[in-house]
Structure 1
Amino acid sequence: MRSQSVLVRRYIWLMSTIYDAGRISYEDIEKKWLRSSLNDEKKPFPLRTFHDHISAIQELFDVNIVCDRSYGYKYYIENADVLDLDSVCLWMLNSFSVSNAIAGAKDIRDRILIQDIPSSRRWLAPILSAIREKQVIEIDYLSFQKGEVPARKLCPFYVKLYDNRWYMFAREPENPKMKVYALDRIKALRTLDEEFTFEPTSADRESIDKCFGHCIYEDIPPRVIRIKATKSASYYLDTLPLHKSQRIHEVGEDYVIYEYEFAPTTEFQATLRKWGNQLEICKE
């Protein structure tokens, strides 16, 4: 029997193959499978196994793979907008696809250079479990500004990956104010036999969505910001937006003006400086 991790990698491979192709026949999928690095023994992809995988993908990822019989029996993702709109699902697909590619390149592992993301392996899983089960956690924390802080109980609401670091947004049981904690500064974490019943408010989520980076400042409200980018810079921003609210406001011959809505924090100012004269804030 295949291990669960092997099966999940196969599900991701199949979902990624169909997503990238748009529409693809079972015969072409099997040809790709015979060349896949996941298929070390070069075994065929039985039709029954193929349909079992499709059912598992629907159950695990809520992604519907269907066959268009009027178009040469081509398979496609019926609800591809789930991947386009659900940033977590798309991130999972991208992450697993990268993991699959690297797993199949063991012979050239010394040629693959990656940057480690601090803390994600140790603390992310118990925090996600606490969010799901609404369990109170207690952490020992080292602040870069204050040093070691006393152990504190927290009710975790959200986690966010930003600039290769994971952050947790949480509140204390007796204090409704949500604060942010970097996972790589947590020195110890204990899941307590205590539950909390309250949910994050819509204002909590909005404050995260409309902050730039990971910090939330009550004295810096979100506002509409327009940034003029050089043509060369726009190519980068189109593929990796500065913020999720990014949209194109105006296109010129040698520039593009983008419009955003977020709180212009110090992180935003630092990001702007990195771009030098390629980006400038439009005067209101």
Structure 2
Amino acid sequence: MTTHAHFLRQLLLVLRLQSLRRAVPFEELRNYLLEQTSLQDLAANYSQRTFQRDLPKIAERFGVTIAHDRRAGGYVITSTDPLPEGYQRLHDAFELQEFLRLPTALSPFVQWESRRPLGTEWLQPLVRSVQQRRQVSFQYHKFWDDEPSTRTVSPLLLKEFKGRWYLLAHDPVRDVLRCFGLDRIQALESTTHSFEPPANFQPEVYYAHSFGIIRPDHEPPAEIVLALKPTQGQYLKSFPLHSSQRVLVDTDEELLIQLTVYNTHDLLMELLSLGDQVQVLAPASLKMQVKQIHAAAVSGCTT
């Protein structure tokens, strides 16, 4: 079994026990693994002995202790803080990696995005380093630099945005937080140096008001008000731009929504991608910025 499949299997067990919140017999857990498409063949030989070997690995990787409750007749999580929601997205990434290994005979019936993100092989070692609070070193090649540079940082969290994965880390030399695209990382190694996160750093709320990976340090989130044409509005109702999205007006003529997010380049690019289907009503600075970009684009097409 591949290392990715090991990680996926263990993560699935934790998520399953966390969601059920009751004692689960081994056979039920095994049957659940059998139902997972990417693990179906591998789980067929999943034994009680293999499960027991998984338990200390789960404790090491996720900080989750699983034990057998004899009175309840099954396995329960005995000590942990609940895994954050981001672990479900991490599971999705590993699920996708294993899914892509399915037999080619299924390819006519299952078609996925041909653009596949690079750097997902660093997810597992980075998760381990975040969990163990071990610094990592790697070569980082910015798209606008000719040569990569060596970085040694304290990994704090992993974030996904538009199919790409990013590492938020503390740079101990400059004493600042940096964000690194996993697709630009090379030769990643975990070091023996431990670290403590910066004071007052809270991973669960750091990106709470960010659309994307940009998080300004010296400005508050803005109240963004958007007017959308009815059809496009339905898309954003079914797949909100951000967790703070709130519907202000919903009629046959338009949909007005409000977001509480930082006014960043990531947000600007998203709004521009909607073309004439969206109108920025507030703040005035963002409305003017979008107007100027559209005007420049029209001017460029007519010269």
Match of 2:138 in 1: 139
Amino acid at match of 2:272: R
* Distance in 2 (alpha carbons) for counterparts of 1:124 and 1:99: 11
1:181 aligns with 2:183: no
- How many residue pairs match? The answer is 242
Q: Which amino acid aligns with 2:89?
A: W
Q: Which runs of 5+ in 2 are unaligned?
A: 21-30, 65-81, 284-303
Aligned residue runs from structure 1 range 1-284, under 5 A: 8=9, 87-91=85-89, 106-111=104-109, 112-114=111-113, 115-121=115-121, 123-199=122-198, 201-202=200-201, 206-218=205-217, 221-283=220-282
Amino acid at match of 1:141: Y
Q: Taking structure 1 as reference, are residues 107 and 232 closer, same or farther at Cα in structure 2, changes over 3 Å only?
A: same
Q: Structure 1's 220 and 235: CA in aligned 2 closer, same or farther, altered over 3 A? A: same
- Label 1:97 to 1:129 Cα distance change in 2 as closer, same or farther (>3 A): closer
- Structure 1, unmatched stretches of 5+, are 20-29, 44-48, 63-82
* TM-fit CA distance, 1:232: 0.9
Contact 1:220–1:265 (CA under 8 A) maintained in structure 2: no
Measured in 2, the distance between the counterparts of 1:188 and 1:100 equals 23
Q: Percent identity?
A: 20
2:140 and 2:97 map into 1 onto residues whose CA distance is 31
Query: 1:148 offset after TM fit, Å?
Result: 3.0
Return closer, same or farther for 1:119/1:147 CA change in 2, 3 Å cut-off. same
Q: Secondary structure at 2:255's aligned position in 1?
A: strand
The residue type equivalent to 1:137 in the other structure is V
Amino acid corresponding to residue 118 of structure 1 in structure 2: L
Whether contact under 8 Å (2:157, 2:169) holds in the other structure is: yes
Counterpart code for 2:116: D
- Counterpart residue type for residue 211 of structure 2: F
- The TM-score normalised by the length of structure 1 is 0.65
The code of the aligned residue for 1:189 comes to L
Contact 1:37 1:105 (8 Å CA) reproduced:
no
